[in-house]
Structure 1
Amino acid sequence: MADDVMTDQGSPVALARGRGSRAVKDGAAPRPVPRQPDHEVIVVGAGISGIGLAIELRKAGIESFLLLERAGDVGGTWRDNRYPGIAVDITSFTYSFSFEQNPDWSRVFAPGAELQRYAQRVAAKYGVYPKVRFRTEVDKAVFLEDRDLWEIHLKGGERLYSRFLIGASGGLISPKKPDIKGLEAFKGIVMHTGFWDDSVELTGKRVAVIGTGATAVQMVPSIASRVAHLDVYQRTPIWVLKKPDAEIPAWLKSAFRTLPIVQRGVRVCTDALSEAVMVGAVIYYRQIPGLVRWAESAGKNNLLEQIPNDPALREKLTPKYGFGCKRPTFSNDYFKTFTRDNVELVTDPIECITERGIRTRDGQERQIDVLITATGYRVFEKGNLPSFEVHGRDGLELGQFWDEHRYQAYEAVSVPKFPNYFGMLGPYGLTGTSYFKMVEAHSIHAVRCIKEARKRAMTRVEIGQGPHERYFQDVQRRQQNTVFPNHSCASSNSYYFDKHGDAPMLRPSTTMEMLWRAKHFPMKHYRFSRAQAGSTADLPDRATAGAAAFV
């Protein structure tokens, strides 16, 4: 891995951090709307989505673009999350860009720090860093209908203008605090796993963890051996399968470097396995229910192997909802951690947090020094997706529209009345295998639309209401085959579900179908038109000018 990308003062990271920090003072008069946009494309976010999109833009010959990143480096989730034990929960061979395989992963399931270095290396290799403006946060974006421009309002007062706007801020950016009485009264240390404080020493401390999702599954075994005592508060147990993890030997890494086809072959195998477990079992539950039954049996066997002599403890750790209702995960030591003398699994509901600890409804108060909240993130909730206000045509705001009318988007990318706007993590956009696959598909989709607008010399591209509605209806029809409405998901407390009772996180299709549709969706589903106001001097006249009809 290119560690020098992080540390060398002359590296792309260091150089990019020193540029683009300009802002205007609060209260300063905004500049007039320019005749031409500052950039053809502005992308909000420089995590995996932003990096992938930047690479696809450059591949298409589009160089007038800028990434706006609120932090000081690329990487997104893998930059921000540093809790002990963090690692990918999909094999590293699958969890990476298809066009940029890494032969140097240390393990089959790479540690989180390696994913961050991978993001930095890819960003440096493909020239993304010079296109990023760091420490820049977007407040809101407004579509100027007379000019077909997006006006991006930055926190601090500055405004930028672009023809196209792409939201790539990801989903895991707003940590969810537990709604528990007395949290503010606690006198010890409180930290969320998404804001891990490396200066906090856990050795010899009494620690409590609230939450038993995928993050806790990784973190709890990593800290149990060094704390004096660990209380883990569980509301809902999680399905945990065996983790086929291992250190990758030097000879195999050498084979990957000298014969890339070897690593591609390994990726094909891990893709197929991930697709079967995380897509086939969940998305095609009605067609092949045996996969879910197999996964549940495997999860129970994993629990039995780790806790062979305590049926009461196993019962507490056994989910009562179906496999797939909540994101499952992998671990070979999570369950056995609860057999340690210094670890207690607490399933009694929390009544309140006191100055010195946590009191459960049975009246018992457990004293602690450090409280760790592993309570996840807000995902499909207003204020998180999108992470800033997006005002389209007729004053419609995207977050409010989704909040009131259900989460929906054509191919998870476009929404009517939001011209020239594309989302990277949209409703029903993520496949169960790899976030990278979604990024590649949605980048292809967005760039196809931008290229077509260029080809037609048009300044506006907007998805038609008819295609959008038909796509949403098809998604809802397909959802009926998934595990979500069919397998006792009501008790899962899963972030897959939103306030409407929908499960807009996962796309009800295979990864292959998602990629095929990104490359072949009919361009006639979009409407192309040209601005009436003076923002088109850079565009040549074309005989094809005019609006393509909605279909």
Structure 2
Amino acid sequence: MITPARTTRSTALIVGAGFGGIAMAIELQRHGIDDIVVLEKASDLGGVWRENTYPGAGCDVPSPLYSFSFAGTTRWPRRYARQPDILAYLQRVAREYDITGRIRFGREVAAAEFDETTARWLVRTTGGEEYETTAFIPAVGQLSRPALPDIPGRETFRGRAFHSAEWDHGCELTGKRVAVVGTGASAIQFVPQIRPRTGHLTVFQRSAQYILPKRDHAYDRWYHAPLRTVPWLQKLDRLGFWLYSEFAQECLSRWQVFTPLFGRQAAKHLRDKVTDPRLREQLTPAYALGCKRILFSNDYLPALASPTVDLVTDDITEITPDGVRTADGTLHEADVIIYGTGFATQDLLAPMAIHGLGGRRLAEAWRGGARAHLGITVPGFPNMFLMYGPNTNLGGGSIVHMLESQARYIRDAVGELRSRPGRYLDVRPEAERAWDESVQRRLARSVWTRCRSWYRTAGGRVVSNWPGRTREYRTRTRRVDLADFRIGSASTHSARTRTAPAD
């Protein structure tokens, strides 16, 4: 039973202190809603930029665009920022906007239940702390839980093994035989960094990637000086990158006539960096450009061409105590295995046990794939507002822009709730259904339906990506349309006090 003495109450409770959670907290506070709590399971803020400390970790979106519109900076040391610089930026913004003090670190949410008798959410942490809030705002993102592959024998390996998002900095790689499983966005960054230290590196590739050159360079004082002197130049700099990203996003969803331009660029980059015809063939994708995440790197392909690196494209059949065995029967011996196998993107909000009206489980509502009106609200889960929810990821562009749009929409909704004490907003199923059908129709015409990727469920439904431009999404989320919601009231019958049931 929840007792008043143990329960912390607030107008809004945010889960997660990454880009999304920080954007949400600042947006609420800037509009006079400062009765907020942010729960963060780690000991520091930063989200993926706190967790991903592997060698070479960085962003593939230009720094001026991968930042908040209200917190521009001329401190970026290069066009594409590295992990330490992005983390430092988030910490600085949180301090400057007085958000750090609102974050309760070391609190992992275990369960949340909507209480119809009070029209409020009851939230419980793994440590047993309990919170009561009007608006429940998960901001845990789509890329927060590392995914390890289901390979027989994985636990039998007697060497060191770890996921790239949980990098073991105490593991010495010098002179070691290192196996890298996976060739996604993380692997193409850390492989070139660790290659010179390893004795031998074996990279296991399931499918080839489209890799474009990364137009990266350091920013010197001559670049930053005019931006500091003439503030509007900073906005112009950001605008240029934003316009290009809008073009790239449309090329993946609607203007596919332009995608061959990117394909030719990727092919030229491969020819320039890899001279071995056999290796080049192994690195040539067999699917439409953009169907999987497009990657950017200048040093990954040269690293694979090194004589101390082997690229293996045969399927992995098992992990043995001594290494990795592939379908051709070869045992690739290894001292260390690094899994660059991405994240659990399909089970959004897991492992939190979330229950809405009538005790309905969110996991049950999303059995066929996650879905939400505007990627933010789910029928039957009143006053729950998602940051970086279903179908709000981008194939091109900055997710920070999308997060700001969501934060503004949610702030408007929280304002409506504050003006209606004891009421709740439950998005109408027909509104959510109409939105989802429209999004899925548009996605069906996009490149993202043409291969298997983390954007899609096993059944083929695209649950991650947004099919339009960020400008369109900003317009659609400008304000809450109350016609999309059923406005309910706290139940008049005797109140029930209960904790969220465990799954």
| TM-score between both structures, scaled by the size of structure 2 | 0.95
Q: Which amino acid aligns with 2:443?
A: Q
> Which of 182, 191, 194 pairs up with 1:223?
194
> Which of 19, 22, 28 pairs up with 1:51?
22
Structure 1 residues 533 and 39, CA gap change in structure 2 (3 angstroms): farther
Q: Which amino acid aligns with 2:191?
A: V
Contact 2:40 2:107 in 1 (8 A): yes
Does 1:439 pair with 2:409?
A: no
Does 1:505 pair with 2:469?
A: no
> Which of 324, 337, 342 pairs up with 1:376?
342
Does 1:241 pair with 2:207?
A: no
Residues in 2 aligned to 1:214 and 1:306: alpha-carbon distance in whole angstroms: 18
Does 1:306 pair with 2:267?
A: no
- 1:476-527 residue CA offsets vs partner (Å, 9 max, x unmatched): 2211221123xxx33xx41111133111111111100111111145232122
Give the CA RMSD over aligned residues: 1.9
Residues in 1 aligned to 2:101 and 2:489: alpha-carbon distance in whole angstroms: 31
Structure 1: state its 5+ residue gaps.
1-29, 537-551
Structure 2: state its 5+ residue gaps.
496-503
Partner of 2:501: none
> Which of 361, 372, 393 pairs up with 2:357?
393
| TM-score between both structures, scaled by the size of structure 1 | 0.86
Does 1:352 pair with 2:323?
A: no
Matches within 5 A, 1:53-452: 53-277=24-248, 279-284=249-254, 288-307=255-274, 309-381=275-347, 384-403=348-367, 405-431=368-394, 432-452=396-416
In the alignment of these two chains, the number of paired residues is: 494
Contact 2:119 2:422 in 1 (8 A): no
Which range moves more in the overlay, 239-248 or 473-482?
473-482
Contact 2:12 2:133 in 1 (8 A): yes
Partner of 1:41: 12
Q: Which amino acid aligns with 2:154?
A: L
Matches within 5 A, 1:530-541: 530-533=489-492
The structural deviation recorded for 1:218 is 0.8
The structural deviation recorded for 1:398 is 1.1
The structural deviation recorded for 1:386 is 4.4
Contact 1:386 1:398 in 2 (8 A): no
The structural deviation recorded for 1:37 is 6.9
Residues in 2 aligned to 1:426 and 1:44: alpha-carbon distance in whole angstroms: 13
Contact 2:7 2:130 in 1 (8 A): no
The structural deviation recorded for 1:459 is 2.4
Contact 2:109 2:125 in 1 (8 A): yes
Which range moves more in the overlay, 350-359 or 137-146?
350-359
Partner of 1:476: 440
Contact 1:163 1:459 in 2 (8 A): no
Partner of 1:20: none
Residues in 2 aligned to 1:213 and 1:132: alpha-carbon distance in whole angstroms: 32
Contact 1:147 1:533 in 2 (8 A): no
Contact 2:206 2:315 in 1 (8 A): yes
Q: Which amino acid aligns with 1:183?
A: R
- 1:109-138 residue CA offsets vs partner (Å, 9 max, x unmatched): 111111111110111111111111100111
Contact 2:440 2:462 in 1 (8 A): no
Q: Which amino acid aligns with 1:60?
A: H
Structure 1 residues 37 and 87, CA gap change in structure 2 (3 angstroms): closer
**What is the percent sequence identity of the aligned residues?**
36
Residues in 2 aligned to 1:181 and 1:474: alpha-carbon distance in whole angstroms: 41
The structural deviation recorded for 1:332 is 1.1
Structure 1 residues 161 and 104, CA gap change in structure 2 (3 angstroms): same
**What's the secondary structure of 2:194's corresponding residue?**
helix
Q: Which amino acid aligns with 2:232?
A: I
Q: Which amino acid aligns with 1:321?
A: Y
Moved over 6 A (4+): 34-37
**What's the secondary structure of 1:312's corresponding residue?**
helix
Structure 1 residues 54 and 46, CA gap change in structure 2 (3 angstroms): same
Residues in 2 aligned to 1:36 and 1:345: alpha-carbon distance in whole angstroms: 55
- 1:369-412 residue CA offsets vs partner (Å, 9 max, x unmatched): 1110001110122xx43441110001211122112x43211100
**What's the secondary structure of 1:151's corresponding residue?**
strand
- 1:142-167 residue CA offsets vs partner (Å, 9 max, x unmatched): 11111101111111322211111001
